[in-house]
Amino acid sequence: MVLVATHVDKDGGNDGMVVDFRGNPVDKSKTGRWLAAGLILGSELSERICVVGISMNLVTYLVGELHISTSKSANIVTNFLGTLNLLALLGGFLADAKLGRYLTVTIAATSTALGVTLLTIATTIPSMRPPPCTDYRRQHHECIEVNGRQLALLYTALYTIALGGGGIKSNVSGFGSDQFDINDPKEEKAMIFFFNRFYFCISLGSLFAVTVLVYMQDNIGRGWGYGISAGTMAIAVVILLCGTKFYRFRKPQGSPLTVIWRVFCLAWKNRNLPYPSHPSFLNGFNDAKVPHTERFRCLDKAAVVDSSNGKGDEMYRPWTVSTVTLVEEVKMVLKLIPIWSTCILFWTVYSQMTTFTVEQATIMYRNIGSFTVPSGSFSFFLFTTILLFTSLNGKILVPLARKFTHSVQGITSLQRIGIGLILSMIAMVAAAIIERQRRDVFVHQQRRISAFWLVPQFFLVGAGEAFAYVGQLEFFIREAPERMKSMSTGLFLSSVSMGFFVSSLLVSLVAKVTKHGWIRNDLNKGKLDNFYWMLAVLGVFNYLVFLVFSMRHQYKIQHYTTSYSDEELKTWKNEQHSKDTEENIESIEVKDSAIV
């Protein structure tokens, strides 16, 4: 059976044609489905193993072996993760505009493998590290900090990984879903299970990284831990390439970013043109797939027909005038920005789980009998909590909410985000209390408390992510225009990215304002609990802003019917007196007749 799937709309958007690796219409019996999707999932599994295995334990290497200050080490980790998520926008753009998802994922996976190989070299060669010293956290004045030449290879490795990780993250889920035909009921059902298994692969890779790899890094050697990650990624690239003939490919149709840029440019270009007396005079109003709204009215100028641009078809070229549908889709994206901005602080809180919390665990009692738990492995509680609450949400909480709300969703996407924000605030309160207790016990009793006291903050942040991650992803996908679904995923990931960058900014500001009084290399002499209290207070203000934006947000209208009758439109036309307006009406009528 041969599958040919293509759709083109009047605004230039299209779903593209599904083809095989030779460019021919695909044979459904020989391509796609679970074989192809499974091979693609290997790339995501390997990417998670690499990135989580590096990020969750990198700060201990930077502080303990490279003798970099605690605040600077935290910023290196958060900047790396922030850049990785930000580059997902670039990966999505390249795939949509030119390269396609398969080629983008292949190049990105190769880049990740190369980056982890370079990181293995950077952490293995003795000349890439400063001379060892007894305890940098307490005797940093006697230790030599890593120099710029030694850091160069480390930075090159990290940002090569970030480049590859961003490309994989933004495209692998879409490429995997391309292997199923949504017009086939059986394959559509299979695609739903694909997303479940996709999330399972992410969690499985993360758990393996924070247990096995982190243990190897701390007890056997960084080279072994990173070397296994590099080998895993290299194998994933080979497997991905071997499956080429089994994949279904969707040709790139141009990036939605181009559409957004074009609408803004046309709105600016036509800023001096008068608004039409009625929205029906805007280009493509009668064929609009999205209802016209009065919000961001300045963008309507992009759809104003200017007769000075020529005659006939010349007036309706894409870079001459936009359509109401495209303008309204850009407005829909702008409506996402307020909620996007309030999601950033959640990921700022989350980033503390990869930096300061790991540093806390390093100087706490981590023994279970004779076995010493690696400080980076405490993230195990974070990922298991995420899995636990993800399961509870689907099997218990959502069905229970449906009974009370009588809604199919049960819990709306904005409600999920709100719950996640509340849990993140509580997590920072718990973190502040535990850190104060840890420091007081050490200072006054010279005793280390158990690192398992950190489990509550891992638990709360993990539970928060189970709500916030799903809620944000659902919100950005459901509320985005149909043609901009992939870009909306990139927008979501950019909020994750900004969260890590905001963490770096706050750490730098706090270190400067307090003159390193709160965040010190020796946490026992600092006041890290004050930093956590600050994040909790910021979380309260952020949540209040989120409530305001949530109450004002208007959910996307799924079905559009014109609310203006023929008599109303006729009345408006009769009220026009200027010659220019009459010419615009005639032009619109000519275009409508041609379409019919």
DSSP assignment of 496-518 equals HHHHHHHHHHHHHHHHHHTTTSS
Q: How confident is the model at residue 24 (pLDDT cuts 50, 70, 90)?
A: confident
Q: Are residues 74 and 90 in the same domain?
A: yes
| Residue 63 is assigned to a structural domain of this protein | yes
DSSP 244: G
> According to the model, what pLDDT value does residue 357 have?
92
Q: How far apart are CA 439 and CA 412, in angstroms?
A: 41
| Residue 380 is assigned to a structural domain of this protein | yes
| Residue 1 is assigned to a structural domain of this protein | no
Q: Which of 21, 172, 23 is nearest to 91 (CA)?
A: 172
| Least trusted range by pLDDT, from 134-148, 253-267, 516-530, 544-558 | 134-148
CATH of the domain at 139: 1.20.1250.20
DSSP 524: G
- Paired strand residues for 18: 250
Q: Which of 96, 88, 103, 101 is nearest to 14 (CA)?
A: 96
| Residue 157 is assigned to a structural domain of this protein | yes
More confident residue, 265 or 292: 265
Q: How far apart are CA 504 and CA 499, in angstroms?
A: 9
Terminal Cα distance for the chain, rounded: 35
> Which amino acid is located at 21 in the chain?
F
| Residue 5 is assigned to a structural domain of this protein | no
Q: Are 147 and 156 in contact (CB under 8 A)?
A: no
Q: Are residues 235 and 354 in the same domain?
A: no
Q: Are residues 285 and 250 in the same domain?
A: no
Q: Are residues 418 and 543 in the same domain?
A: yes
Q: Are 152 and 169 in contact (CB under 8 A)?
A: no
Is a pLDDT exceeding 50 seen at residue 163? Answer: yes
Give the tokens for residue 435: 């850190």
Q: How far apart are CA 327 and CA 481, in angstroms?
A: 11
| Residue 313 is assigned to a structural domain of this protein | no
Q: How far apart are CA 593 and CA 287, in angstroms?
A: 12
| Residue 563 is assigned to a structural domain of this protein | no
Q: How confident is the model at residue 565 (pLDDT cuts 50, 70, 90)?
A: very low
Q: Are residues 198 and 288 in the same domain?
A: no
Q: Are residues 335 and 214 in the same domain?
A: no
Q: Are residues 174 and 278 in the same domain?
A: no
Percent of the chain at pLDDT above 70?
85
Q: Are residues 186 and 293 in the same domain?
A: no
| Count of domains for the chain | 3
Q: How far apart are CA 544 and CA 521, in angstroms?
A: 34
Largest CA distance in the chain: 91
Helix (H, G, I), strand (E, B) or coil at 3: strand
- Which of 238, 254, 270 lies at the terminal end of a domain, its last residue? 254
Q: Are residues 361 and 442 in the same domain?
A: yes
What phi-psi label fits residue 579: left (phi over 0), alpha (psi between -120 and 50 degrees) or beta? Answer: alpha
Q: Are 61 and 146 in contact (CB under 8 A)?
A: no
Is a pLDDT exceeding 90 seen at residue 506? Answer: yes
Sheet strands (E) in 298-397: 367-368, 371-372
More confident residue, 75 or 408: 75
> According to the model, what pLDDT value does residue 352 have?
93
Predicted model pTM: 0.79
| Residue 2 is assigned to a structural domain of this protein | no
- Paired strand residues for 371: 368
Q: How confident is the model at residue 16 (pLDDT cuts 50, 70, 90)?
A: low
Other C-beta atoms lying within 10 Å of the C-beta of residue 513: 10
Q: How far apart are CA 136 and CA 376, in angstroms?
A: 18
Q: What radius of gyration, in Å, describes the C-alpha atoms of the chain?
A: 27
Q: Are residues 269 and 351 in the same domain?
A: no
Q: What mean pLDDT is predicted for residues 345-349? A: 96
Q: What mean pLDDT is predicted for residues 271-281? A: 86
Q: Which domain holds residue 132?
A: 18-254
Q: How far apart are CA 136 and CA 66, in angstroms?
A: 9
Q: What φ, ψ does residue 74 adopt, rounded to 5°?
A: -60, -40
**Average per-residue pLDDT in the chain?**
82
Query: Sign of the CA dihedral 41, 44, 49, 50?
Result: positive
Q: Are residues 451 and 463 in the same domain?
A: yes
Tokens 């050490």 belong to 442
- Paired strand residues for 8: 14
Angle between helix 256-269 and helix 485-513 axes, rounded to 10 deg: 80
179-223 residue pLDDT tens: 888 777 777 777 766 766 777 778 788 888 988 999 898 888 888
> According to the model, what pLDDT value does residue 347 have?
95
Other C-beta atoms lying within 10 Å of the C-beta of residue 265: 13
Q: How far apart are CA 19 and CA 5, in angstroms?
A: 9
Q: Are residues 331 and 290 in the same domain?
A: no
Q: How confident is the model at residue 393 (pLDDT cuts 50, 70, 90)?
A: confident
What are the C-alpha distances in Å from 465 to residues 249, 290, 313, 417, 461?
33, 32, 51, 9, 6
3-state percent breakdown (helix, strand, coil) of the chain, nearest 5: 70, 5, 25
Q: How confident is the model at residue 142 (pLDDT cuts 50, 70, 90)?
A: low
Q: What angle do CA 64, 66, 71 make, to 5 degrees?
A: 75
